Chains A and B, each alone.
Chain A
Amino acid sequence: MKTLLEVDNVSISFDGFKAIKNLSFSIGYNELQAIIGPNGAGKTTFMDIITGQTKPDNGHILWGEKSIDLIRKTESEIALLGIGRKFQKPTVFENKTIIDNLILSQKKNRNPFKVLFQKNTNTDLISIDKILKDINLYKIKDRIAGEISHGQKQWLEIGMLLSQNPKLMLIDEPAAGMTPTERNQTVSILKNISKSSSIIVVEHDMEFVRNLNCRVTVLNEGSILSSGSIDFITQNEKVIEVYLGR
């Protein structure tokens, strides 16, 4: 499998505390992977580093066929290269309608002078309607995003990522605050997306990760403890000790 993103020997420390230690990780095209780990394992910091919000102390992050190093790029440049991100706490634009949120994130020219004269073509609106149906929000597309439920906000944010159409999605705790039915729907949404783009899911819920049926990486104290199928890692003694045993 060709590599889409390669994180090579990355470390970062905050005030002497090593949040990530010599971490290496890679993901291929259209691959779904999950990352689990206890609180403070460095999962969110890992995402911050990939998306350019935090600069690592050393290491490289190579992207795509041309192996572009992402370390020196800004958040928006990295996003334009094709990395989308969903935050742990669902972060949508609460004063805008659901459909306006999707229009805002839709993959288009981001040059301010172009945006000033950008109009929504029929094709744009058709693709947004399709996303609205995929994330089960079509019927309430004109509602203000601040008024919808927590679970629906999670979906809206995933929908915004779909609209952004990235090559890689980093999804932080997609199932948090969802009912069991919503969780199952989220699993099928994610599996569906992974047919056309790569996904890294960070999640606490072991059952949810099991349903994703993908490669799982266990992080602990900033480094990788174990990696493999869910059945493989759940039998690893170290993993049981630091994470599952609790």
Chain B
Amino acid sequence: MITDINKSVKKHSLIFLITIFLFTLLITFLSEPFGINFISTSFVKVLGKTLCLCIAAIAMDVVWGYCGILSLGHFAFFGLGGYMIGMWLMYERTSIIVLNSLDGSQLPFTEIELQEAIGNQIFGVVGGTEIPLIWTFADNLYFQIIFVILIPGLLAFIFGWLAFRSRVTGVYLSILTQAMTLALSLYLFQNDSGLRGNNGLSGLQNIPHLENLSQSTISILFLWLSSIGLIFSFVIFNYIIQSKFGSVITAIRDNETRLRFFGYNVEIYKLFIFVITAIITGLAGAIYYPQAGIINPAEIAPIASIYLAVWVAIGGRGKLYGAILGAASVSLLSSWFTGGNAPNIPLGFFTIEWVNWWTVFLGIGFVAITIFSKGGLIGMLNTLLVKIK
């Protein structure tokens, strides 16, 4: 019977992976540069970004739905990943622009002049010209990619080590994670944080050394990157939750005290899950922000992490595709409603404008789904399928 369950899980996962692949292929054929020009570049970007949010959502599902840690700070890791890759994108592009503009000048320029010009370009908005220390490796893509993994991983490790070791659990832990992302966001709002304060990093959609490619081509490249990222993280998380390790973390969720008496060092397991999900979330952010084009500290405000939890709850936690369904449907609906596409509803005395009313609608939907379906959207689908059979 156990092997039966494993087989059906394997079958479902395979179906899912093939669906993602075919979906990406379909979008490619419907796009402008590689197909029949049916879908706009901006919509391809929306889809690519949605795939990245799905990656963050399955990470959230593993940490919350499987391990029982309701982290309300995981979007901090997403943002940090974006900042790390954004530093390279911005520095490299600025240095190319500066070099081009200096090309015509009569006198050869020194390295210091070059640095000053780049510093002025990037940090002029926050009244600085010096390149801060944290940008030391910003000219090296490989270093910044390592930082995409290292910085969110390190923050998660230090935070998790302190919190889990003191056996902070439940609501208290959620509040702490919330405080972590709030503190980080407030710090980044400072002009002297070295990351351009509330301006954030911008122009990230212009990928250095790919100037010859149009934005529409780049959008398809990033769609594929996002899709591969989703498949990659799904495979990793699916392996973890199907292994004995997965059995251990669901046991932590259900009764961590009991598990300790079987000799499991619960804190280490929690830390492992917290760090690995933070790293994957960071990587998702690093693929997301070049598509969004801009990252600023408002992105990692506490509300973003709460949304992440809402997506997982709506989709159905404890099922990886539940998280994906929740993240994809809610974030796509959200961009439809807030993008001014949804028709306003005039009630005579009052007009429902979706841009403002969407969150109310989402809130009602969230409450309804939590009350009427324990397993979220995916739970509803499953009950429906069983009834049809």
Contacts and interface: CB of A to CB of B under 8 A. Distances in A.
Interface in B1-53: 1-2
Give the residue among A79, A87, A112 with the most B Cβ atoms within 10 A.
A112
A164 B254 contact: no
Interface string A107-125: 0001010011110000000
Given A93-B251, A96-B251, A116-B245, A110 B258 contact: no
Interface residues of A, number: 30
Contact of B263 (A53, A76, A96, A99): A76
A27 B114 CA distance: 78
Contacts of A51: 261
A112 B247 contact: no
B243 A118 contact: yes
B245 A105 contact: no
Interface stretch (B127-135, B266-274, B304-312, B342-350): B266-274
Interface residues of B, number: 25
A193 interface: no
A91 B255 contact: yes
A84 interface: yes
Contacts of B272: 112
A100 B244 CA distance: 9
Contacts of B255: 91, 93
A159 to B, nearest CB: 12
Given A91-B255, A91-B258, A93-B255, A100 B263 contact: no
Nearest to A94: B254
Nearest to A91: B258
A112 B268 contact: yes
A233 interface: no
A104 B261 contact: no
A99 B254 contact: no
Nearest to B258: A91
A211 B262 CA distance: 29
B243 A164 contact: no
A112 B245 contact: yes
B215 interface: no
Interface in B209-257: 240, 243-245, 247-248, 250-251, 254-255, 257
Given A95-B250, A103-B244, A118-B243, A142 B2 contact: yes
A142 B261 CA distance: 24
A221 interface: no
A110 B263 contact: yes
A112 B258 CA distance: 17
Contact of A76 (B2, B247, B250, B260): B260
A80 interface: yes
A112 B146 CA distance: 24
Contacts of A79: 260-263
Contact of A100 (B245, B247, B261): B247
B357 interface: no
A103 B248 CA distance: 10
A160 interface: yes
A85 interface: yes
Given A110-B265, A112-B268, A96 B260 contact: no
Contacts of A105: 262
B82 to A, nearest CB: 29
Nearest to A166: B263
A88 interface: no
B213 to A, nearest CB: 40
Contacts of A84: 261-262
B172 interface: no
Given A93-B251, A99-B2, A142-B2, A115 B262 contact: no
B264 interface: yes
Given A91-B255, A94-B254, A97-B2, A76 B265 contact: yes
A69 interface: no
B264 A110 contact: yes
Given A76-B265, A93-B258, A115 B250 contact: no
Interface in A40-93: 51, 53, 74-76, 79-80, 84-85, 87, 91, 93
A73 to B, nearest CB: 11
B243 A117 contact: yes
Nearest to A85: B261
A76 B263 CA distance: 4
A104 B262 contact: yes
Interface in A157-195: 160, 164
A105 B261 CA distance: 9
A79 B266 CA distance: 12
A236 B243 CA distance: 55
A184 B356 CA distance: 68
Nearest to B263: A79
Contacts of B254: 93-95
Given A93-B251, A115-B245, A142-B2, A76 B258 contact: no
B81 to A, nearest CB: 24
A206 to B, nearest CB: 28
Interface of B: 1-2, 240, 243-245, 247-248, 250-251, 254-255, 257-266, 268-269, 272
Given A75-B260, A112-B272, 20 more contacts: A51-B261, A74-B260, A76-B263, A76-B266, A79-B260, A79-B261, A79-B262, A84-B261, A87-B258, A93-B254, A95-B250, A96-B250, A100-B247, A104-B244, A104-B247, A104-B259, A110-B263, A112-B269, A118-B244, A142-B2
> What 3 A-B pairs come out closest when comparing CB atoms?
A79-B263, A75-B260, A80-B263
21 contacts: A75-B260, A75-B261, A76-B260, A76-B261, A79-B260, A79-B263, A93-B250, A95-B250, A96-B251, A100-B2, A103-B244, A104-B247, A104-B262, A110-B265, A112-B268, A116-B240, A116-B245, A118-B244, A118-B245, A142-B1, A142-B2
